Amino acid sequence: MKSRPYLNHSLAQLEDLARRRRGDAATLLQIHAELRFHTSAAAAGLRAEIDGRIADLAEGGMHLRYASRMPTQERETARMASEIEELRRALLETRHRLRLAEDAVRHFRERAAAGDRAATLHAEMGLTPDCPDHVFEAARRAHLKAAHPDLHPPAGREAAEAEFKRLHAAFETLAELRRPRAAQRGS
């Protein structure tokens, strides 16, 4: 039975060793032999990479008695496993982007269903819909303080009271519309 010098090496260690010893055909062949015991797609990809490096070394004039022992089918299997892994990663990335797009569509539909009241009220109050909560609260206090009926002369108190109530209702509506966004940011 042949010895396995890299028996206790992880896939990452084998990959690092293969990169560091890329010109050493004997080491590459031993790593290749050890990778046969690893069944992951990453191991198959590394096997294919080592196959290519060994072939390059053989073409470079080095005598490799073991290079001819690597079956073509195994190289093809490793290449295909590597392609499958790349496609799997691309599929996962596409699924993630699809979820993000679905969330954006749902958000825009919700805003359209609400009649985009928030954007209109924000503009009326001199704010942007994406302003931070502390800016929103500061604007709320400033507007309500400026419109408070006690700060106006008795002749204009009635109009000031009406304006104060309108501003208070508008800011309450905005606060209600902003709550789902705050909940989303917290999760």
C-alpha span between 66 and 39 (Å, rounded): 22
For residue range 154-173, what is the model confidence (pLDDT) as tens digits? 888 898 899 999 999 989 98
* Residues 119, 81 share a domain: no
Asked if 67 and 55 touch (Cβ cutoff 8 Å), the reply is yes
Burial (Cβ within 10 Å: 0-12, 13-18, ≥19) of residue 174: buried
Residue segments in the chain with a per-residue pLDDT below the cut of 50: 1, 62-69, 187
Q: Are residues 68 and 126 in the same domain?
A: no
Domain co-membership, 21 together with 77 = yes
pLDDT at 65: 47
Instruction: Report residue 132 as tokens.
Output: 């931070």
Domain boundary among 88, 106, 141: 88
How many structural domains comprise the chain? 2
**Residue 177 and residue 130 share a domain:** yes
- CA 169 vs. chain centroid, Å, equals 39
Domain that holds residue 81: 11-88
101: in domain: no
DSSP code string of 23-72: T-HHHHHHHHHHHTT--SHHHHHHHHHHHHHHHHHHHTT---TTGGGS-H
129 and 181 part of one domain: yes
Same domain as 71, residue 119: no
User: What residue type is 129 in one-letter code?
Assistant: P
Q: Is residue 96 part of a domain?
A: no
Residues 181 and 138 both lie in one domain: yes
Is the residue at 106 inside a domain? no
pLDDT tens digits, one per residue of 13-36? 999 999 998 888 888 888 988 898
Q: What pLDDT shows up at residue 60?
A: 63
pLDDT at 185: 54
In a domain, 34, yes or no: yes
